[in-house]
Amino acid sequence: MVKKMEKIRLEKQGRILIPKGVREKLGVRAGEEMSIQVERRGIVLRAFKSPKDFSAELKGCVKESRIDPLTLKKIWEM
């Protein structure tokens, strides 16, 4: 799957503007937290979900499962 690269500019204060289409695709809005990870070739930004929010979103998704939602979150982030 080929993903479209977007060009952005780093401001003097170190801020970047995430394009509207990307924000919409991630479902993030102004004021929401994101996580940032430094990798060998750059950085990765992800919409941040607290364990509580993540568990609430999973509730009812996996019927009769014995897996802990936090364990599932760790697997999903790999």
The residue with tokens 């568990």 is 55
Contact 34, 42 (CB under 8 A): no
Is the pLDDT higher at 2 or at 39? Answer: 39
This prediction's pTM: 0.53
The residue with tokens 């950085």 is 43
**pLDDT tens digit sequence for 10-62:** 999 999 998 898 888 888 888 888 888 999 989 888 877 777 777 777 776 66
Please state, in angstroms and rounded to a whole number, the distance separating the CA atoms of residues 15 and 13: 6
Report helix, strand or coil for 37.
Answer: strand
Is the pLDDT higher at 5 or at 59? Answer: 5
Report helix, strand or coil for 22.
Answer: helix
